[in-house]
Amino acid sequence: MSDSQQYLTVSALTQYIKRKFDVDPYLGKVYLTGEISNYRPRPHTHQYFSLKDDQAKIAAIMFRSAFEKVKFQPEVGMKVLVVGRIGLYEASGNYQIYIERMEPDGVGALYQAYEQLKKKLATEGLFSAPKQPLPRFPKRIAVVTSQSGAVIRDIITTVRRRYPIAQIVLYPAQVQGDAAAPEIAQQIERANAAGNFDTLIIGRGGGSIEDLWPFNEEVVARAIAASQLPVISSVGHETDTTIADLVADVRAATPTAAAELAVPVFNDVLLQLNQDRTRVFNAFQNLVQRDRQRLNKLTTSYVFMQPNRLYEGYIQKLDFLTERLQQAGTQRLAQSQQQYQRLAQRLGQQTPIHRVRQAQTQLTNLQQRLQRGVQLVLTTKEQQLTRTIQSLDLLSPLKIMGRGYAFVTHDDQIVRSIKQVAPKQTVAVHFADGEAQAQITKIDGGKMNG
């Protein structure tokens, strides 16, 4: 035998180890506790995740058929109790646990599922949605419950005793077991599809949470929420509260209480009808009596006794309005005439002749003002000239020479100093009335300085 024949293939070794896992009696059914890890929900298929504790971790798989039986929603970090078998996955060589059953560790699986679904539906608003009112006088009532239980008998007995004219129609359904929830939801939909019912009652007797579980299923809750009929839920006893109770329009503690809520007491209705009939009759009599009194009063009124008085007021009002109309017309005419006169006067003032006359008058006034202004200016100038002449006359040399003064010229130049003449020089002496020739005989400047 060659050395190579002593070596195993990986597949052969894996198959051998898998065989060991499969035939080991201690690994065929293992009870395991751990914390969920690496969980990612996969709708409508197999689930893959891990279970771990402080020191180890194992891969886990839960096939769809087994996972659909789980009553709660697994979450990462949740501690669970699982039952399954240990096997080896050949493709990867990893061992894993194939889980057949799983429930929360420390809290019942049904209670956990109840709380999770309750929280989910509350978030969606199914519990706080507006409730439908129950009809006061139902004709047909649909009941979804077991056909062999005491619930339908209690409902029928109560309805016949209180309101026998109402018709009860049973929609039989299982109220316990895995197949109960879909069947209850289907019967609720059938009753709504019939379209001839006034009220829908669903219920069953008391029991454990496992017995009442179909009424905690999501499919039943959504069927109730979608119901067009007002739903009365009577599941369990007064201390039991199911998801169906929270979604329904009205909750009853027992089936008997549900029937009492669904129908009134027939005798009470008859009594109320009689009382209402009496009140209507009395009210009608009062109306007839009041109308008869009004008729008698109208018959004896002056309108029928003296019909002409009916329109006397209108005639008087017509006369009054006619007079007001005439006064208003006269006043309006006078106002129009006054306005016409004012406009005619304004128009006359705006004619060219009137404007020419105004311009002529204004021109005459301006000419007169111009003549007065010119005369005033001439007079002022004459006075001013006279004063100037007088002033000049006072300053005239002739005036001074008239008082005995004279002036001397030589060669047509005025002699102002003795330095301008010399002895034996001929000069002209000017007087006020003429001039004379004179000869300088002597120049004496000392006397002048002295």
Instruction: Encode burial over 271-293: b for 16+ CB neighbours within 10 A, e otherwise.
Output: eeeeeeeeeeeeeeeeeeeeeee
303 is written with which tokens?
């309108």
Residue predicted with more confidence, 271 or 16: 16
Sequence letter at residue 87: G
pLDDT at 26 over 90: no
Strand partners, 233: 202, 251
For the segment 319-334, the average pLDDT, to the nearest whole number, is: 89
Q: What is the pLDDT of residues 209-256, one digit of tens each?
A: 777 889 988 999 999 999 999 999 998 766 668 889 999 999 998 888
**For domain 135-264, is the CATH number 3.40.50.2300?**
yes
pLDDT at residue 251, as a whole number: 92
Is the model's pLDDT at 438 over the cut of 60?
yes
Mean pLDDT of the chain: 85
Pick 8-107's CATH classification: 3.40.718.10, 2.40.50.140, 3.20.20.60, 3.30.460.10.
Answer: 2.40.50.140
Angle among Cα 58, 64, 70 to the nearest 5 degrees reads 80
Lowest-pLDDT range of 174-178, 260-264, 299-303, 371-375:
299-303
Sequence letter at residue 412: D
Is the separation of the CB atoms in 242 and 266 below 8 Å? no
Q: Give the pLDDT confidence score for residue 310 in this predicted structure.
A: 67
The model's confidence at residue 273, banded by pLDDT at 50, 70 and 90, is: confident
CA dihedral sign of residues 430, 436, 439, 443: negative
Task: Give the lowest-confidence range in 132-146, 183-197, 388-402.
Answer: 388-402
Longest Cα–Cα distance of the chain, Å, equals 196
d(CA 144, CA 147): 9
Domain residue ranges in the chain:
8-107, 135-264, 407-449
Calculate mean pLDDT across residues 362-366: 90
Q: Report the pLDDT value the prediction gives residue 2, as an integer from 0 to 100.
A: 55
The answer on pLDDT for 262 being more than 70 is yes
Per the model's pLDDT, the better-predicted residue between 72 and 154 turns out to be 154
Does the pLDDT at position 11 exceed 60? yes
Q: What is the pLDDT of residue 303?
A: 63
CB atoms within 10 A of CB 216: 24
> How many other CB atoms are found less than 10 A from the CB of residue 111?
14
Average pLDDT rounded to a whole number, residues 416-428:
85
The 8-class DSSP code of residue 410 comes to E
Mean pLDDT score, 249-268: 88
The pLDDT of residue 382 is above 50? yes
Question: Once rounded to an integer, what is the mean pLDDT over residues 342-355?
Answer: 77
**pLDDT score at 170:** 94
pLDDT in the model for residue 83: 93
Given this model, what pLDDT does residue 448 score?
Answer: 46
Q: Does the pLDDT of residue 37 top 80, yes or no?
A: yes
pLDDT higher than 80, residue 352: no
Q: For 248-257, 310-319, 423-432, which range has the lowest pLDDT when averaged over its residues?
A: 310-319
Which residues on adjacent β-strands are paired with residue 81? 33, 103
Tens-place pLDDT, residues 50-84: 998 888 889 999 999 999 888 888 888 788 889 99
The pLDDT, as a whole number, for residue 6 is: 78
Instruction: Write down the pTM of the prediction.
Output: 0.47
CA–CA separation, 188 vs 142, rounded Å? 9
pLDDT of residue 47: 93
239-270 residues labelled b (16+ CB within 10 A) or e (exposed) = ebbbbbbbbbbbbbebbbbbbbbbbbebeebe
Q: Average pLDDT, stretch 323-337? A: 90
Q: What is the pLDDT of residue 306?
A: 67
Residue 191's pLDDT is 94
